[in-house]
Chains A and B, each alone.
Chain A
Amino acid sequence: QKEVEQNSGPLSVPEGAIASLNCTYSDRGSQSFFWYRQYSGKSPELIMFIYSNGDKEDGRFTAQLNKASQYVSLLIRDSQPSDSATYLCAVTGSARQLTFGSGTQLTVLP
């Protein structure tokens, strides 16, 4: 059974701070790693994807991947109240479909 684990939170950070979201996965064959943002009642919205070990930066977002530790993280710099949402970690492997974690609820306090 392929599992993707995330702390459900809630995680609260003050506006302007760095939010750090973590994810572990069980399948060593996982190949691609994705972070989605989901506002309540809405669909998942792709934020970032990462395929290789190391860091990948896009604006205020940085994804980090460590395949040896089976660990993926997302850093959000200069957090804004509009970043308040549930962040979903998802992975794919030999099968193309996404396996999602249960999500971490982030609240950015003004």
Chain B
Amino acid sequence: EPEVTQTPSHQVTQMGQEVILRCVPISNHLYFYWYRQILGQKVEFLVSFYNNEISEKSEIFDDQFSVERPDGSNFTLKIRSTKLEDSAMYFCASSPGTNTEAFFGQGTRLTVV
């Protein structure tokens, strides 16, 4: 069964460093998303990506964040100059169409120390 895959599963980084979280969405899906979940809190939307550009972004997704689809399969989230409060689970998701079901990867646990 097709699935969204994310790497790494866990990343520890020092405050101020840059991190890149990687995702391979399901191959025939058109919409890609990043969400995050701080421990004990809601799953929060960060950004959506369609047709090689950002289609929506939340207030959380400020200049510290960027997304890229460098080739036909990978979808990345870059966090520049990480802060302690960026510590969270980051989930990539993809969906085949608009307002259709989204499937989530297993997540990357980011710990900023």
CB-defined contacts of A36 to chain B, threshold 8 Å = 104
Main secondary structure of the interface of B (DSSP, over half): strand
How far does the alpha carbon of A96 sit from the alpha carbon of B32 in the complex, in Å? 10
Given contacts A96-B55, A99-B45, contact A34 B106 (CB under 8 A): no
Whether the pair B33, A46 counts as a contact (CB closer than 8 A) is no
Whether the pair A100, B99 counts as a contact (CB closer than 8 A) is no
Given contacts A88-B43, A96-B56, A102-B42, contact A46 B31 (CB under 8 A): no
Which residue of A32, A34, A45, A96 contacts B48 across the interface (Cβ within 8 Å)? Answer: A96
How far does the alpha carbon of A97 sit from the alpha carbon of B99 in the complex, in Å? 8
Interface presence of B85 (CB below 8 A): no
What 1/0 flags go to A26-54 for Cβ under 8 Å of B? 00000110101000001111100101000
Whether the pair A100, B33 counts as a contact (CB closer than 8 A) is no
CB-defined contacts of B41 to chain A, threshold 8 Å = 102
CB-defined contacts of B102 to chain A, threshold 8 Å = 34, 46, 98
CB-defined contacts of A95 to chain B, threshold 8 Å = 48, 56
Sample of 26 A–B contacts (CB below 8 Å): A32-B100, A34-B101, A34-B102, A43-B105, A43-B106, A43-B107, A44-B43, A44-B91, A46-B101, A46-B103, A49-B100, A90-B43, A95-B48, A96-B31, A96-B50, A96-B56, A96-B98, A96-B99, A97-B45, A97-B48, A98-B35, A98-B43, A100-B44, A101-B42, A102-B41, A102-B42
Residues of A within 8 A of B (CB): 31-32, 34, 36, 42-46, 49, 51, 88, 90, 92, 95-103
